[in-house]
């Protein structure tokens, strides 16, 4: 069995690994680290939760141990799709580089430019950044990338999504052609892989598991849901979520609940909290300080339920997550692999439960085609029959008269008013051979005439006038 000591890492790095409690590398680490130490480009594909971060941090620390950084010219660059993942990579460097004198800087949004500028000015060996904030510093003249020796793209499939391609291409154009490039991801679609060929030169491809597969330690379940009425779908779906959580009992020590939309993240967290569940939201619209506060609470165990958008699905290493609930079927099938990969990490058992509405069945088919597995269906804990309608709704429907009956009632009302009108109240009729305008009172009387029966006392003046002209004509 291969050990870390067999991978030609520096003694100081091996000491940090030993202090962290690791002895045996994962398959992706065993395959990628030797090639990275040789200076080759690497394309690493492995299931989420298999240690891809250490696959590039360990050889980078070993390679960068010799040399010194210059002001505003980082020696290595790690690009991450989200702030949380970037912060996590920074924590890994702190863990494995504590016996090596390397400096690092973290460039992410939601943090003061001033502190980041000061770190860059001192010179950094490792620069960890999201693409947007990195380009902001470059365009302000605070950063040069001509000294980058090693460049890493973490979660490459998401980074190379169509929306990120211009930023990625620009960043690569600012780095030396002779750099070493490392790509790591859990999924790598064929069309995305063709793009990586533009950035990598004769890479060593390390694929330790079939692409887009879920860990065997994760038990997957699917609960079909159909609302009793469209206007009650949201509340009934939240009720089903609570029932699924309750069904797990003590086995659910903590859980991440994924929603497709940020508004649903907030609403779901608020609803769970209302019913006594310890829950908090996390998504891209929250301030960075709040997002880190929520994540720290979830990691430490003071928060039990984390309601999240896909900002929390990529690369976050929270080892002891017992459950993942997919409140919505993800719109992109690859996101399902990343979501459920938050549980069952490092050989632990985990469980992933997904709720599927009829409108989500197309997305569900895409997920099952991707993972090449039919997700086992489970019974709805609330029962399959839709909830009964409220009694007052039924009574209102039964007691409401048909529309035609209501119109007849109005006509009868008009008839009654016409009969109640005294003949003495009506103005005298003019001679038929004289065409002269009639007084307003005359028109009111005309409205109660037998020829306008059924039109009630709300007859407009212009209609009454046309009747008067016919009579006098």
Whether the pTM exceeds 0.75: the reply is no
Which stretch of DSSP H or E encloses residue 338? helix 333-340
| Residue ranges in 144-183 assigned as alpha helix (H) | 156-159, 165-173
Residue 268 structure tokens? 């779901």
Identify the burial level of 27 via C-beta atoms within 10 angstroms of its C-beta, where 0-12 means exposed, 13-18 middle and 19 or more buried: middle
The confidence score (pLDDT) of residue 315 equals 55
Query: Do residues 10 and 149 share a domain?
Result: yes
The confidence score (pLDDT) of residue 465 equals 63
Query: Do residues 190 and 269 share a domain?
Result: no
Query: Do residues 159 and 301 share a domain?
Result: no
Query: Do residues 367 and 442 share a domain?
Result: no
Beta pairing partners, 326? 258, 354
Residue 164 structure tokens? 């990120």
Are 30 and 198 contacting, i.e. CB atoms less than 8 angstroms apart? Answer: no
Angle at the Cα of 317 from the Cα atoms of 313 and 318, rounded to 5 degrees: 95
Residue 186 structure tokens? 């859990």
For the chain, how many structural domains are there in total? 3
Residue 77 structure tokens? 């660059």
Q: How far apart are CA 425 and CA 444, in angstroms?
A: 10
Coil/strand/helix, residue 249:
helix
310 in a structural domain: yes
- Spatial neighbors of 405 by CB under 8 A, at least 6 apart, are none
CATH number at 224 reads 3.40.50.300
Query: Do residues 99 and 203 share a domain?
Result: yes
In 3D space, the residue among 94, 30, 37 whose CA is nearest the CA of residue 64 turns out to be 37
Q: How far apart are CA 25 and CA 375, in angstroms?
A: 31
398 in a structural domain: no
Q: How far apart are CA 223 and CA 209, in angstroms?
A: 28
The confidence score (pLDDT) of residue 392 equals 41
The confidence score (pLDDT) of residue 156 equals 76
Query: Do residues 234 and 155 share a domain?
Result: no
Residue 438 structure tokens? 């009639």
Residue 310 structure tokens? 């896909």
Query: What phi, psi does 324 have (nearest 5°)?
Result: -125, 125
The confidence score (pLDDT) of residue 181 equals 95
Query: Do residues 200 and 223 share a domain?
Result: no
Number of other CB atoms surrounding residue 351 within 10 Å: 21
In 3D space, the residue among 118, 109, 153, 51 whose CA is nearest the CA of residue 292 turns out to be 109
369 in a structural domain: yes
Could you give the dihedral angle defined by the CA atoms of residues 360, 363, 365 and 370, in that order, rounded to the nearest 10 degrees? -150
Strands in 249-365 per DSSP E: 255-258, 279-282, 305-308, 323-326, 350-356
For residue 170, what are the domain limits? 4-207
Q: What is the side-by-side order of every strand in the sheet holding 76-79?
A: 104-107, 126-129, 76-79, 150-154, 180-185, 42-45, 204-207
Given the structure tokens 């330690």, which residue do they identify? 217
Query: What phi, psi does 164 have (nearest 5°)?
Result: -100, -10
The confidence score (pLDDT) of residue 417 equals 44
Query: Do residues 21 and 73 share a domain?
Result: yes
Q: How far apart are CA 145 and CA 165, in angstroms?
A: 18
Query: Do residues 90 and 231 share a domain?
Result: no
The confidence score (pLDDT) of residue 314 equals 63
Query: Do residues 330 and 426 share a domain?
Result: no
Strands in 21-93 per DSSP E: 42-45, 76-79
Domain boundary among 207, 227, 249: 207
Taking 3-state DSSP, the helix, strand and coil percentages for the chain, each rounded to the nearest 5, stand at 50, 15, 40
**Per-10-residue mean pLDDT, the chain, length 473:** 88 94 90 95 82 92 88 93 88 93 90 90 93 93 94 81 77 93 80 78 84 80 94 95 96 95 94 96 85 89 92 69 96 87 83 96 94 93 57 44 46 45 45 48 48 54 60 53
- Spatial neighbors of 388 by CB under 8 A, at least 6 apart, are 228
């Amino acid at each position: 069995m291969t050990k870390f000591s067999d991978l030609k890492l520096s003694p100081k790095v091996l000491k940090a690994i030993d202090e962290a409690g690791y002895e045996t590398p994962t398959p992706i680490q065993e395959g990628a680290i030797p090639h990275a130490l040789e200076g080759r480009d690497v394309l690493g594909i492995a299931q989420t939760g298999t240690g891809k971060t250490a696959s590039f941090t360990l050889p980078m620390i070993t390679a960068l141990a010799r040399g010194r950084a210059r002001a505003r010219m980082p020696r290595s660059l790690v690009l991450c799709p989200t702030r949380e993942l970037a912060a996590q990579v920074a924590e890994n460097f702190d863990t494995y580089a504590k016996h090596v004198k390397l400096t690092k800087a973290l460039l992410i949004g939601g943090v003061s430019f001033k502190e980041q500028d000061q770190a860059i000015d001192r010179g950094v060996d490792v620069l960890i950044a999201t693409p947007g904030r990195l380009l902001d510093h470059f365009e302000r003249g605070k950063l040069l990338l001509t000294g980058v020796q090693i460049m890493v793209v973490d979660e490459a499939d998401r980074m190379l999504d169509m929306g990120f391609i211009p930023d990625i291409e620009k960043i690569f154009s600012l780095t030396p052609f002779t750099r070493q490039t490392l790509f790591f991801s859990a999924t790598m679609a064929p069309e995305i892989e063709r793009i990586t060929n533009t950035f990598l030169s004769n890479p060593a491809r390390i694929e330790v598991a079939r692409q887009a597969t879920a860990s065997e330690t994760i038990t997957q379940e699917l609960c079909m849901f159909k609302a009793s009425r469209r206007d009650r779908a949201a509340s009934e779906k939240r009720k089903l979520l609570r029932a699924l959580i309750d069904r797990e009992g003590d086995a659910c020590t903590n859980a991440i609940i994924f929603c497709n939309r940020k508004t649903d993240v907030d609403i779901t967290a608020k609803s769970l909290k209302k019913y006594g569940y310890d829950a908090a939201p996390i998504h891209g619209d929250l301030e960075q300080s709040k997002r880190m506060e929520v994540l720290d609470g979830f990691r430490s165990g003071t928060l039990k339920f984390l309601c999240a958008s896909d900002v929390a699905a990529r690369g976050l290493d929270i080892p002891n997550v017992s459950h993942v609930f997919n409140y919505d079927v993800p719109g992109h099938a690859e996101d399902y692999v990343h979501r459920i990969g938050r549980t069952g990490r490092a050989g632990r058992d985990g469980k992933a439960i997904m709720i599927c509405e009829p409108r989500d069945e197309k997305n569900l088919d895409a997920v099952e085609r991707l993972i090449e597995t039919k997700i086992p269906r489970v019974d709805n804990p609330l029962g399959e029959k839709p909830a009964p309608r409220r009694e007052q709704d039924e009574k209102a429907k039964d007691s409401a008269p048909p529309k035609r009956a209501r119109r007849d009632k109005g006509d009868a009302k008009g008839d009654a008013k016409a009969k109640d009108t005294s003949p003495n109240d009506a103005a005298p009729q003019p001679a038929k051979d004289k065409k002269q305008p009639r007084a307003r009172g005359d028109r009111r009387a005309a409205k109660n005439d037998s020829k306008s029966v059924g039109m009630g006392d709300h007859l407009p003046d212009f209609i009454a006038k046309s009747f008067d002209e016919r009579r006098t004509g």
